[in-house]
Amino acid sequence: MAVTLKDIAKASGYSITTVSRALAGYSDVSEKTRNHIKAIAEKLGYQPNHIARQLRSQKTRTIGLILPEAAYTATDEFFSLFMMGIGHAASLYHYDLLLGVQITGDDEIVAYQRMVGENRVDGMIIARTKHHDQRVAYLQSSQTPFVVFGRLDPSHPHNFAYIDVDSTLGIQCGMEHLISLGHRHIGLILSPLEMVYTDYRLQGYQKGLTAAQLPFREEYIVVGDLKTESGYALTHTLLDSQPQITAIVACNDHMALGSIKAAQERGLRVGHDISIMGYDDIVAAAHAHPSLTTIRQPIFEIGEQVAALLIQQIEKLNSINAQHTLLEPTLVVRESTGPCIHS
């Protein structure tokens, strides 16, 4: 016979209401009481009836995430870690994660309308914000709970919840590291220009140069597409046209790994003849040859936090719908950066 809330209430000495709210994670139940009730529920073998709960609440207990087609590849470690973090947090709250794909060239809003309009999810997560992001406008107009990983333009009202990493600070710290090693000619492989975080990372590059009283040279900057092949090709482009460059900053690790390959093909010793730095600190960064100096953002943990914040918003456990969290990145120094040996 299935264990009921009444059985748990009897065994714990608490009311059925308290037991129900404790198992649902409501904040008005103390952590001590919640843990005690959960322990008893687990001991008794309680399995929540999600279908009945959904019928009563008209909730799906599902959150949605739509990613670009390019993210569904074995090599996109960034989104793999992000999804794992979301899934982990969702499972702790007894929620499911529904994944969708935005086919390249299709109107991305159609995918959101299908997922939200058909009531398949209770809320959405937006990743990698763009300039004039239609997704934010659509979810706000449809009154759908959502949380964003990223920010919009500074001029845009941020009247929604977001979690982001201070990309400006991250790149600036990386620039300070390279400049402290004697590098004065530093190339930059930017992320796509439609991404808002690209602006913040470019600001970090500029601030690093300004602080060291170094000139800003547009010819040292190229724009990539976040893929390894892009970093590879653009490194050849930079070094062919600007051979005085002694260090390269890539706006993600995949492009940095491509940059390492290109430099090595040219007979350069990475970390000696040229320094290369990435951004993200994916697992592959530590295992590259040489290992990659990078700016770490805790991708798995961000996924967890974004999902938890969304579910709290859905269940009205958090009264602040426009909560803003800006995390600090960390410089991880490895073998791919070293002292400048050229004047």
Q: pLDDT tens, 117-176?
A: 888 999 999 998 998 888 998 898 888 999 999 998 887 778 899 999 999 999 999 999
- Tell the residue number behind the tokens 């040279």, with chain if given: 217
Please measure the distance between the N-terminal and C-terminal CA atoms of the chain and give it in whole angstroms: 79
**pLDDT given at position 104:** 65
Consecutive H or E run containing 199: helix 196-211
Cβ-proximal residues to 50 (8 Å cutoff; 6+ apart), any chain: 61, 94
Q: Is the pLDDT of residue 56 over 50?
A: no
* Average pLDDT over all residues of the chain: 90
| Cβ-contact 333, 167 below 8 angstroms | no
| CATH class (in words) of the domain with range 5-48 | mainly alpha
**pLDDT given at position 300:** 94
- In single-letter form, the type of residue at position 69 comes to E
| Per-residue pLDDT reduced to its tens digit, 75-121 | 678 899 999 999 999 999 999 999 998 876 667 788 898 898 888 99
| CATH class (in words) of the domain with range 62-165+299-327 | alpha beta
pTM beyond 0.85: the answer is no
Q: Where are the domains of the chain?
A: 5-48, 62-165+299-327, 167-297
Share of the chain residues as helix, strand and coil, in percent rounded to the nearest 5: 45, 20, 35
**CATH fold of the domain at 167-297:** Rossmann fold (3.40.50)
Domains 62-165+299-327 and 167-297 share a fold: yes
Neighbour order of strands in the sheet with 161-165: 96-102, 62-68, 123-127, 146-149, 161-165, 324-327
CA dist 247 and 220 (Å) reads: 10
CA dist 58 and 319 (Å) reads: 21
Confidence of residue 321 (pLDDT cuts 50, 70, 90): low
At residue 214, the 3 state secondary structure works out as coil
